[in-house]
């Protein structure tokens, strides 16, 4: 007589099956969150403001859309600091530590920067076509009806993953 006892592993038990299903569902949810588009913030009514957070690690940036049926003029005021150069990198003429939304203007021009001609680490506002229309801690820009712009930090395109922090931006309708 032979002894044909088969052993079952954890994954064939009810707890194992439930654990596997939970893992798969958790993975799907994580993927959906990563690829889910960010809904643009709306233009504030006159006399009110909108506040957005701009993450230093996002090359796409934080969207802001004019849902009005007319052009609007938007005033922005940014507060906070973010890190663009990692602490373990110490090269001559690189900014160290936290940088304001005005950026670091004494950095050699890098042709692979998101917005050429604007300071490294500065808050920049770009159109959907990639045109940089404003930068710094405060300023004013115009939006046509239905236009979306993106707020982000000005960094070398391949180096957003080593950034840290975020900037808070208050937006006001001027007209």
Name the CA radius of gyration of the chain, rounded.
Answer: 23
DSSP 113-125: BSSTTS-BT-EEE
For the chain, 175 residues long, the average pLDDT of each consecutive 10-residue run is 59 75 67 54 65 92 89 93 76 73 74 83 93 94 93 88 91 85
- What is the pLDDT, as a whole number, of residue 90? 63
Q: Give pLDDT, residue 114.
A: 85
| pLDDT given for residue 122 in this prediction | 92
CATH class, 41-173 region: mainly beta
> Edge to edge, what strands does the sheet with 132-135 contain?
41-42, 62-65, 148-153, 123-127, 132-135
What's the predicted TM-score (pTM) here? 0.72
């Amino acid at each position: 007589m032979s002894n044909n006892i088969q052993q079952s592993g954890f994954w064939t038990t009810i707890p194992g099956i439930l654990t596997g299903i939970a893992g798969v569902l958790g993975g799907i949810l994580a993927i959906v969150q990563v690829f889910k588009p960010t809904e643009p913030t709306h233009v504030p009514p006159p006399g009110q403001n909108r506040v957005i957070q701009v993450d230093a690690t996002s090359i796409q940036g934080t969207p802001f859309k004019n849902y009005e049926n007319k052009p609007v003029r938007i005033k922005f005021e940014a507060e906070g600091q973010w890190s663009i150069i990692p602490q373990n990198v110490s090269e001559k003429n690189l900014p160290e530590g936290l940088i304001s939304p005005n950026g670091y203007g004494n950095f050699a021009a890098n042709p692979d920067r998101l917005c050429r001609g604007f300071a490294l680490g500065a808050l920049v506002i770009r159109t959907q076509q990639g045109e940089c229309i404003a930068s710094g801690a405060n300023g004013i820009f115009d939006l046509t009806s239905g236009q979306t712009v993106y707020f982000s930090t000005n960094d070398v395109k391949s180096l957003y993953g080593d950034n840290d922090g975020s900037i808070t931006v208050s937006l006001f309708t001027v007209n």
